[in-house]
Structure 1
Amino acid sequence: MLKKVPHTYVIIFALIVFCAVLTGLIPGGEFERNDVLVNGVERSVIKAGSFHFTDSKIQSWQIFSSFFDGFLRTTNIIALILLIGGSFWILNESKSIDLGIYSFLKFSKRWEKSKWLAGIGVNNLVLVGTMTVFSLFGAIFGMSEETIAFTIIFVPLAISMGYDSIVGVSMYFIAAALGFAGAFLNPFTVGVAQGLSDIPLFSGIEYRIFMWAVINLVGFTYILRYASKIRKDPKKSLVYTDDAYWRSHNQTTDETIPQIKSKSAWFALIVLAIGLILFSIRFPLSAILIGNSTFSLPAIPVATGLFLLSSLFALRHSVQYFILNLLTFTIVFLVIGVMGHGWYIKEIATIFLAMGIFSGIAANKSPNTITKLFLEGAKDILPAALIVGLARGIVVILEDGTVIDTILFYVSDSMKDFGKVGTLGIMYLIQTLLNVFIPSGSGQAALTIPIMSQISDLIGISRQATVVVFQLGDGFTNMITPTSGILIGVLGIARIPYEKWFKWIAPFMLILIVTGFLLLLPTAFLDLNGF
């Protein structure tokens, strides 16, 4: 009889204990750091050749305090999860998402009447189309934290299409992560790494676009094959029993959902109209940053006009369609804010909170009812928020134990005599492993690029190749590392136990890592533009 698999909390706590043991085995050390201006942003980067050993800081009782420190260092993500959970609970009370899913499924069935589309598979088109959009988001502006909000949308959609929650998470989170790994315009990875390497910003884009296409081809194929297997037999899913929660919420049909009509929805629209018009006057143009080019566009006024016009049509049908329209344009304004106004977690959480409150008003809920629904949603999502703080405790132990710099020094110092292919491979391995402990892309770049670029000069590898090593090593393991608050948050909301996710993602991760290494080889031996 098989032993019961440990709870996700137990697994992460065991990793904290393991890292604490490492602080007693590995001597303390650190690099000196300088503040430098990289692409207009001041960053603290290590000074090559400055490593020195320090007194060891063995972590013992800190394995317990790391939970508290982990909370302090991830308060923004925890707040985002709680606010999104509460807001979507208000929205879900109106059954708007359910209605939207069933309307979409009905619409997609019409496509099956086409022999050409039926031959390809309508569901396959939906999956590929959705994943391509999110992959582009990851490749162009580094979509990461934003993916947490899409869990409540795509997981129930995937269940309704006959798949499981893993496919639902793959539609947006894995897709964005694939784009992030093969990024060609991501300012947070490619932009920072190239700035630290003193090479032209977003140079070598042609080969990066090729990498993005190859990574997506491999990733999408793997996901589509898995999705096809699950649709044929849903019980083959690792999370079949866990998905009972989502299936129980999908037992209604569009015919059983009462169409709501409420005067309060018009009040919500009027208030939103006033607010968005003032917002449009305040920000008539948005400086949309794509790569190293900036485009000034009237994005907010245009989106405002489209929202008001579409809302008038939506309210002619029902409040639910208005709420769906509100959700759609919440995402539109989110993209505009992130790409054109530097929005981050606070603004993302704020816009979804506003969406939840106005959804409640539109559905004619009283202030007390809206508050009650919000608290119920926050309570329901609380385990996902708690685990984010616990997972960050792993990083806290390693940082406070001063062993990360020591590990980097030992490994980098031992790889100078392995030739081009060997050095590329070791660099890639280092970046891949370090991403488990330093999930921040820009933070990892500041730590490793100053060293890696110097090593690449010594052995005759272009600094551009070093940047590619970094972005691939930093990208793939975001989908598996338990130190990523984003991954843990997504899994918590989707109700996917980490151990089951690990079992599913591990072979996929191996395929992606091998693919990444093969993509590195041309950077050492071919004359590529920008390399």
Structure 2
Amino acid sequence: MANEKKRKGFNFPHVYIMFLLVMLLVVILSWIVPSGQYERSVNPDTGITELNTNVFEYVDQAKPIGFMDFFSALHTGVVQSGDIIVMLLFASGALYILEKSGAIAAGIHKLLRVADGKEKLIIVSLLTLFSIMGTIGFGEGGIPFIPLAMAVVMGLGYDRITAFATSTVGLAIGFTAGAVNFYTTGVSQSIVGLPIYSGLSFRIISLVIFILISMIYILRYANKTKKDPAKSIVAGEYVEQLENAKTAEYEEEAFTLSRKIALLGLVGVLVGSAYGAIQLGWGMPQLSAVYAIYAVFLVLILRLSPSEAAVTFGTGASRLLPTALAIGFARSVMILMDQAQIIDTAVHALSGLLSSTGSIITLLVLFLVVIFFNFFVVSGSGKAMILMPIMGPLGKILGINQQVMVVVYQFGDGFTNYLWPTSGGLMAALGMSNVNYADWVKFSLKLFMILHFAAFLLIVIAHYIGLGPS
């Protein structure tokens, strides 16, 4: 009954509609904000396109956004996001083979028996594990593992929101702290001339603080809802989940040797992907290959019919298609902004505005600007290419350490990847986990506000201790 009343009130529009509205906003801004661009050149040593912050000019918009441009951007966005989409399709297909084989169910049953009385420890362990994945640069790469972690947490008797938060918040805080995250920390430091991954101890301390805050927040919610399911954000579903758990007679899957090896192979996929991304410079094609290899491995080790496994793989991949489109539509926003040529104009105006302000105000404004920009430009490395060439020189003018400017960027970038509706990765995770965006915002908004407040305090501390090297 409560859920029926809730539906009669305001509901967030479907994610596709939200992307179309944001794209429309970009079109409107293109008629208000003048087009402009910085001079760009490719650094022969790094291959990175750099901005010459001393040369900016307003330009006539090369091609105003037309009716067909607006809708064609949807196609282009999906095509340009193809590497991420394909990796997720391969991962979803391979993991569905594992799921249908019964290996996951058998492993979860075994874990639940071991975890009896240690439910909170399991939540903390999973939160920490996903934060480690995030801090080594797993953004979209960690998404396929979210449903697996959710199955464990929901099996412990917690609701879907607790289960989703345990893994997703872990990725968020890890990616934000960015101890060895090349996509934000590494790229940003290379742009401003800092040693890659310098300031590591500060980022590890920040990660620990973020974990503690998130752990307390999630466990409070988990304890509250477990005592009184009516207080759950998804109360109707949660009550039904608990009732089904009481009445259902589960046929426990045998935890055979082959299933154990299959699950160990999954651990190997995770470790191998992390090593390849950090040490070997792997991108999405190589990560997709890892999941393809894992699918073949499952067929062999579990003695599955190759043809039936191929059908299962396709079915698993197809479950992610609506989410894959959402990732592409998110990219469409950036495509229209590039066509309108208004990003450089906004950055130029920002640099002029902050040139006469104090350091703390500048840090706060830049922090908020990065958060705002992340709504339109979700890519951590892409946004670094746009903002760091401005933030670096601005820091030198105002006497702010370059390392601090990198921290401002990465802390402003990370959390909202798991809050803004324009984040394709978030929409992918929500879609795979059957979590409503409005429910997620209701749970996470306060947590992310607390985390942003803690992050800015850490930025101020970094500034006053002169976090180096400069």
2:288 corresponds to 1:349: yes
SS at 2:41 equivalent: strand
- Aligned partner of 1:478 among 394, 397, 417: 417
Q: Could you list the runs of 5+ residues in structure 1 that have no partner in the other structure?
A: 113-121, 260-313
Measured in 2, the distance between the counterparts of 1:358 and 1:251 equals 36
Aligned to 1:24: 31
Deviations 1:423-475 (CA, angstroms, capped at 9, x unpaired): 11111111111122222222222211121121112222122211111111112
Query: 1:95 touches 1:257 (CA, 8 Å); kept in 2?
Result: no
Aligned to 1:59: 65
Query: 1:59 touches 1:397 (CA, 8 Å); kept in 2?
Result: yes
* 1:108–1:19 distance in 2 versus 1, CA, 3 Å: same
Kindly state the Cα deviation for residue 249 of structure 1 after the two structures are TM-superposed: 11
- Which runs of structure 2 are paired with 1:45-84 in the superposition (5 Å)? 45-56=50-61, 57-61=63-67, 62-84=69-91
Measured in 1, the distance between the counterparts of 2:192 and 2:260 equals 50
Please, which moves more after superposition, 342-351 or 363-372? 363-372
Deviations 1:131-176 (CA, angstroms, capped at 9, x unpaired): 223223333x222121122023112122112223333333333212
Aligned to 1:503: 442
Aligned to 2:130: 134
Measured in 2, the distance between the counterparts of 1:78 and 1:373 equals 18
Aligned to 2:5: none
Query: 2:194 touches 2:403 (CA, 8 Å); kept in 1?
Result: yes
- Which runs of structure 2 are paired with 1:35-54 in the superposition (5 Å)? 35-36=42-43, 41-54=46-59
- Aligned partner of 2:187 among 187, 192, 197: 192
Kindly state the Cα deviation for residue 4 of structure 1 after the two structures are TM-superposed: 4.3
Measured in 1, the distance between the counterparts of 2:326 and 2:378 equals 16
Kindly state the Cα deviation for residue 388 of structure 1 after the two structures are TM-superposed: 1.2
SS at 1:55 equivalent: coil
The residue identity in structure 2 corresponding to 1:488 is M
Aligned to 2:3: none
Query: 2:391 touches 2:405 (CA, 8 Å); kept in 1?
Result: yes
Bigger Rg, which one: 1
Kindly state the Cα deviation for residue 95 of structure 1 after the two structures are TM-superposed: 1.6
SS at 1:48 equivalent: strand
The residue identity in structure 1 corresponding to 2:30 is T
Q: Could you list the runs of 5+ residues in structure 2 that have no partner in the other structure?
A: 1-7
* 1:529–1:74 distance in 2 versus 1, CA, 3 Å: closer
- Aligned partner of 1:202 among 197, 201, 204: 197
* 1:187–1:499 distance in 2 versus 1, CA, 3 Å: same
Kindly state the Cα deviation for residue 46 of structure 1 after the two structures are TM-superposed: 1.0
> What root-mean-square deviation, in Å, do the aligned CA atoms of Structure 1 and Structure 2 show?
2.7
* 1:77–1:406 distance in 2 versus 1, CA, 3 Å: same
The residue identity in structure 2 corresponding to 1:184 is A
Measured in 2, the distance between the counterparts of 1:83 and 1:74 equals 14
* 1:435–1:152 distance in 2 versus 1, CA, 3 Å: same
Deviations 1:280-331 (CA, angstroms, capped at 9, x unpaired): xxxxxxxxxxxxxxxxxxxxxxxxxxxxxxxxxx8xx343333223323222
Measured in 2, the distance between the counterparts of 1:236 and 1:485 equals 29
Measured in 2, the distance between the counterparts of 1:252 and 1:349 equals 40
SS at 2:48 equivalent: strand
Aligned to 1:420: 359
Query: 2:19 touches 2:330 (CA, 8 Å); kept in 1?
Result: yes
Measured in 1, the distance between the counterparts of 2:321 and 2:236 equals 21
Measured in 2, the distance between the counterparts of 1:365 and 1:234 equals 41
2:195 corresponds to 1:169: no
Measured in 2, the distance between the counterparts of 1:244 and 1:144 equals 32
Please, which moves more after superposition, 400-409 or 246-255? 246-255
- Which runs of structure 2 are paired with 1:98-497 in the superposition (5 Å)? 98-109=105-116, 112=117, 122-139=118-135, 141-239=136-234, 256-259=251-254, 317-497=256-436
Kindly state the Cα deviation for residue 377 of structure 1 after the two structures are TM-superposed: 1.7
Aligned to 1:265: none
Deviations 1:469-495 (CA, angstroms, capped at 9, x unpaired): 111111221111233322221111112
Measured in 2, the distance between the counterparts of 1:494 and 1:210 equals 31
Q: TM-score, normalised by structure 2?
A: 0.90
SS at 2:282 equivalent: coil
* 1:208–1:318 distance in 2 versus 1, CA, 3 Å: closer
Kindly state the Cα deviation for residue 76 of structure 1 after the two structures are TM-superposed: 1.1
* 1:20–1:252 distance in 2 versus 1, CA, 3 Å: farther
Kindly state the Cα deviation for residue 24 of structure 1 after the two structures are TM-superposed: 1.6
Q: TM-score, normalised by structure 1?
A: 0.80
Measured in 1, the distance between the counterparts of 2:146 and 2:34 equals 41
Kindly state the Cα deviation for residue 358 of structure 1 after the two structures are TM-superposed: 3.3
Aligned to 2:4: none
SS at 2:94 equivalent: helix
* 1:371–1:249 distance in 2 versus 1, CA, 3 Å: farther
* 1:457–1:334 distance in 2 versus 1, CA, 3 Å: closer
* 1:380–1:186 distance in 2 versus 1, CA, 3 Å: closer
Measured in 1, the distance between the counterparts of 2:290 and 2:194 equals 37
Query: 2:404 touches 2:467 (CA, 8 Å); kept in 1?
Result: no
The residue identity in structure 2 corresponding to 1:24 is W
The residue identity in structure 1 corresponding to 2:278 is M
